[in-house]
Amino acid sequence: MSEERNIQNGTAENHAENRGKAMIHLEKLSKTFPGTDEPAVEELTMEIYEGETVVFVGPSGCGKTTTMKMINRIIEPTSGRIFIKGEDVTDANPDTLRRNIGYVIQQIGLFPHMTLADNVATVPKMLGWDKNRVSERTKELMELVSIPASYGSRYPKELSGGQKQRVGVARAMAADPPIMLMDEPFGAVDPITRDRLQDEFLRIQEDIRKTIIFVTHDIDEAIKMGDRIAILQERSVIAQYDTPERILTDPASDFVEDFIGSGASLKRLSLSKVGDIDPANWPVASLEDSHDDARRKMRESGKEHVLLLDGERKPRRWVSMADIEQNGVPLKEAGWPAIAIVEARASLYDTLDTMITSYKGSAIVVDDDGRYQGVVDFETVLASIEDMRPQDANRPDKTQRDVTR
Amino acid sequence: MRTPEQTRPEEKTRPPQSEAVETKSGTSSKPGGGGPTSSLPYKLARYLTMPIILAGVCIALYLWVSSQTLDSIEARNLNAELIVEKLVRHLEITVIATIAVVALAVSAGVILTRPAMRRVSPYIVAVASTGQAMPSIGVIVLIAVLLNQFGFTIAIVALVITAFLPVLRNTMVGIQQVDQSVIEAGRGMGMTKRAVLWKIELPLAIPIMLAGIRTALIIVVGTAALATFINAGGMGDFINTGIKLSRETILITGSVLTAVLALSVDYVAGIAEDVLRPKGL
């Protein structure tokens, strides 16, 4: 266990070099609730970088909400330190601290006796903004979350669940806090509304680039919303803290695999890039090669076709053995033109789509300049999907790779 | 104001069930029309029915008394000047006692709902309950005898004890039933504990608190009729005189007017409840 945590720390440090500076740094944060012996959160250390959305995900009771609530100290940590922008805020005035941290909860918690405008204006008013600025900001935010500004004088009970949560998000963003904490914000709305709220939120986040901590128990939501995902297990121990792609491709433990669930491969198809999978061993030849060379390469590979590249290594034509046997036809004109070309950046999902509509059920992977990189066919994709499935057999390998990373 | 235990996820959606029961018993005097029905004719009918009935009763009483031949004792008692004087006295007792109850019981209710007091609050509520459990006449006379003092002030003290519980309990229930997520949202946005109390908890507790205050008011206005036994005046004087001197006209007039007064006060309190309830609830 401790070894695993070290690995995670190692990963986080790598990220620190690659990305911006740490916005939130938690150091050995622990929480033991009075009257219990088991800590709810135990010595959690993690970093969250400026402008990224980090999703805390884990089974219920794993302490993810407790962890999040310790950041704005709605729950006071038993031990450990909290740093925001490098400043130790563990003992700072919690009210002042919270005015700079947006807070959205599942139950929304709009003030039922206040109008929507007053709800949204809560924090700006506390910060002493003047009236005009408050009302301007309120209107701007209502527009941002697609609530007509004319609704400002309405009361929360007049809104639908989805509208309420939009107002809840607007209220949390009112004073433009650099950090937002969101506790299952879309958990209480129907699936269609949730999907729309998620999309809207992603769109907003693209513009505002806040540092967001998002708590959910839904791995699909985590994959969709997160720049990075922290999968937490009992006592908020980090099982894996990485990008959605990495977590799906390379779960760090059985726990993570179990948590991702059986749909992992399909989920991953839209996240993993075709350039990342090992291409099939297809024979390639140059347009300038002789018929004999092409024939030999095909025989050696055991395949029925060979791909011909031009001088710039761009895929040109597929030829079969039969095409080559027609000695009179130069390779340049033999076979059929190479279609079903995908860029290495394309997702596996799109690649599969291309392959299904292509003639021989394969796709040619090229780099940004259109140069040949490899060929993928159903078998290679299947093999990589196979590889994504939780399998105890390859567990030692993965751990090894983790260590050397 | 929020202990960590309170914010544990398991507890945050806990419905205040046991308290809901209390709420009902505490607000038993709530009129049937307290719902959100708001069509104008309905409203008008609701607001006009009671005054019309009460005015009818008063007119009937006046006509009945006028039709009687009054002896000197009755004539001395049943004149406008004396009735108004007793009425004013009765209202004075009622208003002052109610204000005192509200001031004391609401403060107590706020204090007892603070987390620090959570452990002792059941005991204090139990003590307050005895005030209501004891017969009002017993409380009034006992206090007068114990302090060996009679009159206005003692009447007020006794009435405050009698009517303390409904306001205290409804204040507590009103504050406790405020959705925890609303409070958490407020605290999470950086509202101070004090701001949460004044801007969230108390406004959201108002409907239930008002119901308790209205109950207290009715208890006070009715029980104030007993103030006559410790020489504090009020409408009870007529009833007392009527019984002692066997003058039915005085007794009936006193009783009916006391009842009319109580119903009028309840009526006004009902309107106040409607007006003071925060919008959006």
Which region among A243-247, A259-263, B226-230 has the lowest average model confidence (pLDDT)? Answer: A259-263
Chain A contact present for B204, CB below 8 A: yes
* Minimal-distance CA residue of chain A relative to B200: A111
Helices marked H in A62-120: 64-71, 94-98, 116-120
Nearest to B188 among A65, A96, A103 (CB): A103
On whether the CB atoms of residues B191 and B199 are closer than 8 A, the answer is: yes
- Residue type at A287 in one-letter notation: L
Instruction: Check whether B169 has a pLDDT greater than 70.
Output: yes
How much of chain A exceeds pLDDT 70, in percent? 88
Contact A155 B5 (CB under 8 A): no
On whether the CB atoms of residues A145 and A172 are closer than 8 A, the answer is: no
Q: Which residues pair with A280 in a beta bridge?
A: A375
Which B-chain residues 13-32 have CB contacts (< 8 A) with chain A?
13
Quick one: DSSP state of residue A40? S
Q: Return the sign of the alpha-carbon dihedral for residues B201, B202, B208, B209.
A: positive
Instruction: Check whether A396 has a pLDDT greater than 60.
Output: no
Q: Which residues have a Cβ under 8 Å from the Cβ of A27 and sit 6 or more positions away? A: A45, A80, A81, A82, A83
Compute the average pLDDT of residues A191-206.
86
Compute the average pLDDT of residues B194-219.
93
Mean pLDDT of chain B: 83
Query: What's the distance, Cα to Cα, between the start and end of chain A in Å?
Result: 18
ipTM confidence? 0.72
CA dist B71 and A10 (Å) reads 105
Which region among A64-68, A93-97, B146-150, B199-203 has the lowest average model confidence (pLDDT)? Answer: B146-150
> What pTM did the predictor assign?
0.69
CA dist B62 and B68 (Å) reads 10
Distance in Å, alpha carbon of B204 to nearest chain A alpha carbon = 7
Report the SS3 class of residue B105: helix
Instruction: Check whether A391 has a pLDDT greater than 70.
Output: no
Contact A126 B188 (CB under 8 A): no
Quick one: DSSP state of residue B119? T
Instruction: Check whether B127 has a pLDDT greater than 70.
Output: yes
Chain B contact present for A97, CB below 8 A: yes
- Helix pair B152-176, B17-26: axis angle to 10 deg: 150
Using a CB-CB cut-off of 8 Å, the residues of chain B touching A94 are 190
pLDDT at B37: 53
CA dist A308 and A315 (Å) reads 6
Instruction: Check whether A124 has a pLDDT greater than 90.
Output: yes
Interface test with B, best of A75, A76, A97 (most B CBs within 10 A): A75
Q: And the tokens for B100?
A: 């005192």
Q: Return the sign of the alpha-carbon dihedral for residues B25, B31, B34, B37.
A: positive
Which B-chain residues 120-139 have CB contacts (< 8 A) with chain A?
none
Q: Which residues have a Cβ under 8 Å from the Cβ of B205 and sit 6 or more positions away? A: B171, B174, B175, B177, B178
Quick one: DSSP state of residue B233? -
Chain A contact present for B63, CB below 8 A: no
CA dist B177 and B212 (Å) reads 14
Question: Of A105, A98, A39, A46, which is closest to residue A74 (Cα–Cα)?
Answer: A98
Contact B185 A110 (CB under 8 A): yes
Using a CB-CB cut-off of 8 Å, the residues of chain B touching A170 are none
pLDDT at A398: 40
CA dist A90 and A71 (Å) reads 9
Report the SS3 class of residue B180: helix
* Minimal-distance CA residue of chain B relative to A104: B185
Q: How many CB atoms lie within 10 A of CB B138?
A: 12
Compute the average pLDDT of residues B68-89.
87
pLDDT at A136: 92
Instruction: Check whether B57 has a pLDDT greater than 70.
Output: yes
Which region among A124-138, A263-277, A316-330, B199-213 has the lowest average model confidence (pLDDT)? Answer: A263-277
Quick one: DSSP state of residue B36? S
CA dist A6 and A189 (Å) reads 38
Nearest to A107 among B181, B189, B279 (CB): B181
**What are the DSSP E strand ranges found in A234-329?**
237-242, 284-286, 305-309, 315-320
Q: Return the sign of the alpha-carbon dihedral for residues A397, A398, A402, A405.
A: positive
pLDDT at A382: 79
Residue B26 confidence class, pLDDT cut points 50, 70, 90: very low
